[in-house]
A and B are shown apart, each in its own frame.
Chain A
């Protein structure tokens, strides 16, 4: 009875009210933007646990200096105070002047760890170190630092639900150089994460043109029917690299399977009824990946919502996006 107020929802409401107040305050202070320059307006800074420990030791040193009337212990305490304040300024400086922007969309399969890229620039020729990016709501994969201007990349786990996800504000944090202060900023790029369904390995019996496909596959297994060699491009499968040719030509070269690109198929959701409901979209994702890895052209048919037959990385992205955003009762 004594703590009745805890049993009511008042505390939760107060908490919600506080977070809402904080959010609206933050929205006014650091409005969403394509690019954000870090200044005193959007950098927050407080001492870390180590910083408070440092102050405690400072006070002990000062007390010792006073009690033993020791001039150099006084000097040490003053030096520590100076270092503490310099540490504050230096930590602030490790964020101030950075200009951040986010351009590349963030997409990936559910649960997958993907690389998220940010543009980090600074118009002062200073070295920045020990920067960490993360979304507080998402499991932190790994923080990365940048020590020069350019693009920074950090690994981030994709959320566990298919579709659009708004991760909220990105936190940029640093304790560099001394770990006595933590400076951070909440960056709002309005960015969204698109999660594709997680691929589920399944049998390839999905389309009427299946036999044609199988024939193509057989021939590719049997003989080295490489039609041509071309230079390696981003997105190419590493297994297709022709190592011997690469060594001779002194650049990465991949085998291109001209014959297979001609094969085409329709990937239909309806054909996967054998799978449990939850795995059907995953199964399609697997097949899309497999087809585009082989370079096949394919079309997508989601209970009548059709994506015309095409090939290439663009087609793969379009198809996966369809899967991610597919809305049907039961899915």
Chain B
């Protein structure tokens, strides 16, 4: 190979850095292949093995293509193309031979860097990717250097400098460059499973969520955040019972008169949602308005998106807390919210019917059931399995469970007792991050509760869990988890263990706050944000002004960098002596320093004086003497002004 060994090592290091972020996502066999190719290349660089035959490279590409096709079942998944690109990126090493191959691999790295951001736009990922690119640039420097010694850390230093020089242009363009709408839409089906709510409630569903510490969403409030017990994030309304449990179904449209009576507290907030499994965005209690990409209000009072969220997205929302709504219920609605399947859970149905028999007011019925829950039921995250009629089993045998059990059974009993009721899925509470002044809701905050309809009042939120385990609602999942050693397992448990570590937890809070800021300011920087930010500086800015503004700012930045980098060197940093000498040489008509010769000493210049301008040779000699005394003998009696004066005489 014609490439310096150290350059090849740089290349392998930067390629590993660029592949690493995909390591946990790519199929295991592919990771193995990449490692083998890397090891073989390393052995080649060290001189242990020779270059494999051309056919090895060709065959590996075809085999990789075939295996990936099988893995993803065809080319319709973005992951297929990404992994194919990564495979080619690694397999190129098999035919690595010249500087050009190294250059090509390094250029491809920039495209690979883009694929990182398709899957992860976090601050950490950005830092990893950009450091990888610094290594890539360092590799290019090492490849093109003609120095024969090992370059040490010099290439990384130079590459970092180039990066820092390019950064201002990045920032300028990022802020000003007009955001275009997509040319065409390719569905980004990232096969990765997203943890989150699903559109049905089977007993045990939330239990799996409670094990996960994955981030669900983060919220910044314009005012002080409400107390934890008021933070009911509604995501889905489950209004029908199917064989599987409570499902979304197709509830009838609410009566048009069911507008909100807004005597309650109205709050504004900004919600940054992570990718979801269902096309909804959790919103606080009763949402009044929402702004954000493809979001709309559902008649049932929650926020829908046009499609399932694939990226972190930001929404501006306004909600009213503890609002009462749905004062009137149509017949169709009433029928829908009372419907129960005939034969399942007979004991619960009978119990509900017996409550209704006493012709008591709905309030009394609700209180009776809640009192029963308070007396006889236990809150636990490991309720054990149930079979057959799960609600009967829970109510009359186990009596141990958590939110999903309480909400499902409570709603069932209410319907059996003739009170319209439905299950609401969402999140409850969240952890306040003082460093970033926001509330952070994770998957283990997933919650289910009930809404019952009371004549003359409308829909009322009833959370049976609050009666069984008030600390879950008052202080949030994180606080109640502390008293539940052994009950919680998995990541979520690690997360809570972390909280008890003091300074480490504080550090984690800071990091999370930073990452939240990153998501809000950078990842979600779109046209609307752009206009909002820029109109702070230029009030009344229109979208059409963006392009010329972007161009002007870009050219300005480029100009500054150009001047900084390539301003004629003789204008800068020359010593006084050098300027005298230059002035002296330039006095020779038609002779520049170049023509006298770069190494030309004073003696040669004097000769030139004598031949070109003999009349002034004496003046020139006077200058040269003073100059020489000043420069070489450090004679302080010759002042710098006298040298300048001698030069001035010469110039005139």
Binding site for B on A (CB under 8 A): 33-37, 39, 50, 53-54, 57-58, 60-61, 63-76, 78-83, 85-87, 89-90, 92-93, 96-97, 99, 101, 119, 121, 123-124, 129-132, 143-145, 147, 175-179
Contact = CB atoms under 8 A, between A and B. Distances in A.
Contacts of B574: 123
A66 B522 contact: no
B165 interface: yes
Contacts of B147: 129, 145, 147
B502 interface: no
B568 A83 contact: no
Contacts of A119: 598-599
Contact of B598 (A73, A99, A145): A99
B160 to A, nearest CB: 12
B406 interface: no
B-side binding surface: helix, strand, loop or mixed? Answer: helix
Interface in B469-525: 522-525
B143 interface: yes
B580 to A, nearest CB: 14
B140 interface: yes
A71 B311 CA distance: 11
A123 B571 CA distance: 11
A57 B114 CA distance: 10
A99 B578 CA distance: 16
Given A78-B170, A86-B162, A176-B141, 20 more contacts: A34-B595, A36-B594, A39-B568, A60-B111, A66-B179, A67-B182, A71-B522, A72-B117, A72-B523, A83-B137, A90-B162, A93-B566, A96-B566, A96-B569, A121-B599, A129-B144, A129-B147, A147-B146, A177-B140, A177-B145
A34 B597 contact: yes
Contacts of B595: 33-35
Nearest to B113: A76
Given A63-B183, A67-B184, A79-B166, A179 B145 contact: no
A76 B183 contact: no
Interface string B160-185: 00110111111001100101111111
Contact of A99 (B111, B158, B594): B594
A251 to B, nearest CB: 27
Given A34-B597, A35-B597, A65-B114, A70 B137 contact: no
Interface of B: 99-100, 103-104, 107-108, 110-111, 113-114, 117-118, 121, 126, 129-130, 133, 137, 140-141, 143-147, 158, 162-163, 165-170, 173-174, 177, 179-186, 188, 293, 311, 522-526, 558, 561-562, 565-566, 568-570, 573-574, 578, 593-595, 597-599
Contacts of A33: 594-595
Contact of B169 (A61, A70, A85, A179): A85
A78 B143 CA distance: 24
A70 B118 contact: yes
A80 B526 CA distance: 20
Contact of A178 (B144, B170, B179): B144
Contacts of A121: 598-599
Given A72-B523, A73-B114, A37 B594 contact: yes
Contacts of A68: 118, 182, 188, 311
Contacts of B593: 37
Instruction: Give the most central of A66, A68, A82: most B CB within 10 Å.
Output: A82
A53 B121 contact: no
Nearest to B145: A129
B272 to A, nearest CB: 13
B523 A71 contact: yes
A121 B599 CA distance: 9
Nearest to B155: A177
A291 B167 CA distance: 66
B103 A81 contact: no
21 contacts: A36-B594, A37-B598, A54-B107, A58-B110, A67-B185, A75-B126, A75-B174, A76-B114, A76-B129, A79-B167, A82-B165, A82-B166, A85-B169, A89-B561, A96-B566, A101-B597, A123-B569, A123-B578, A129-B146, A145-B145, A147-B147
Contact of B526 (A54, A69, A87, A130): A69
B553 to A, nearest CB: 12
A90 to B, nearest CB: 6
Contacts of B166: 79, 82-83, 85-86
A111 to B, nearest CB: 25
Given A66-B180, A86-B162, A176-B144, A76 B117 contact: yes
A7 B144 CA distance: 44
B9 to A, nearest CB: 18
Contacts of B562: 89
A179 B568 contact: no
Contacts of B103: 50, 179
A71 B121 contact: yes
A175 B145 CA distance: 9
A58 B188 CA distance: 21
Given A35-B594, A36-B594, A78-B170, A178 B140 contact: yes
Contact of B146 (A63, A75, A144): A144
